[in-house]
Amino acid sequence: MVHLDETLTMFKELTDARGVSGFEGEAREVMKKYIAPYADEVYTDRLGSLIARKVGQEGGPKVMVAGHLDEIGFMVTQIDDKGYIKFQTLGGWWSQVMLAQRVTIITKKGDITGVIGSKPPHILSPEARKKPVDIKDMFIDIGASSKEEAMEWGVKPGDMVSPYFEFTVMNNEKLLLAKAWDNRIGCAIAIDVLKNLKGENHPNVVYGVGTVQEEVGLRGAKTSAYSVNPDISFSVDVGIAGDTPGVSEKEAAGKLGKGPQIVLYDASMIAHKGLRDFVIETAEELNIPFQYDAMPGGGTDSGAIHVSHGGIPALSIGIATRYIHSHAGILHRDDYDNAVKLVVEVIKRLDQQKVNEIIYG
């Protein structure tokens, strides 16, 4: 039995929390519990993003460190006459990772366990076996015998459906297996950045932010960026790990344990060159390992943040994670620790002169 230290306990509570896009309340409360002791003020914007403000120097540059609270999941849309549940995906799912997976429907009457139904291979034609099942043809089985019984149990259209998976420390204790690393690991980084700045002299006002609805369009990033109006912003998120069989270096260069990823490019933004260069210089000066990443598909909260107000220099920093956008992902504890260290050290060096230099050259 692995002893859960303070950080692992935080990871467990963050990842076990159910908080799919649009239903982030449970995850927000966990983040609030852990970040509040290190903040001067904690509040939410009107869409539900959590904002924790910590003053190093009043009137100093505003630095935002954002991880998104939401995980991919589902929403109940219909209950058929036999009690099976039809659903809408929230976020990007690939059908092959969904069938026969356990889910939890969170209702006003309590939690209902279900499983995404699938046909046994014995009754599939040879042709059907070769094709992935369309998501529109899937359903959730909660063991109800009728629509009335399902509704009596509390299930109704609009309810959140969360993937079910318990946080697990693997045999290699540096490797951590959980649902919702995308992106509770970013929320954890925001928490630990504020924690590590406690008692430190730094010339900034730092905002640790847990954004909502990233997976469905970077929506909370937009509202929280307007609320904070930062001078500099970091989005901390998962990145793609390319160190498993069948993935080429060209497809994904990231590897577990090789340091946080500096995201040069994704479909939502080009990293701000001045900020990117400063972060890399800081990492090299302090011998903090890092790796580069570029993702032609997908994006991060930086995509919405960098075009807020008159433009905000932004950079995304990723933690290489295997099997993202499924029930279970794996990441490396060292990459987390080094990401926290890097962001903290960068913030300590970000005075107004350096911010002006980054922005105006």
Which amino acid type is present at position 255? K
Cα-to-chain-centroid distance, residue 196: 21
Tokens of 139: 């359903």
Please tell me whether residue 208 adopts helix, strand or coil conformation: strand
Residue 336: both structure tokens together: 């987390």
User: Active site includes 214?
Assistant: yes
Query: Any idea how long the chain is?
Result: 361
State the distance between the two ends of the chain, measured CA to CA, in whole angstroms. 53
- Give phi and psi for 11, each to the nearest 5: -60, -45
Cβ-contact 103, 111 below 8 angstroms: no
Task: Write down the residue that tokens 């995308």 correspond to.
Answer: 182
Structure tokens at 341: 């260290």
- Tokens describing residue 311: 């433009």
Residue 132's identity, in one-letter code, is P
Neighbours of 121 (CB within 10 A): 8
Q: Which of 214, 251, 281, 345 is catalytic?
A: 214
- Structural tokens at position 55: 């003053």
Q: Are 5 and 147 in contact (CB under 8 A)?
A: no
Residue 41: in which H helix or E strand, if any? strand 41-44
Burial grade of 1 (CB within 10 A; 0-12, 13-18, 19 or more): exposed
Residue 96: burial class (beta carbons within 10 Å; 0-12, 13-18, 19+): exposed
Give the CB-side neighbour count of residue 29, counting CA atoms within 13 A.
7
Q: Strands 291-295 and 175-178: what pairing?
A: unpaired
CA angle 103, 97, 243 (to 5 degrees): 125
Catalytic residues: 214
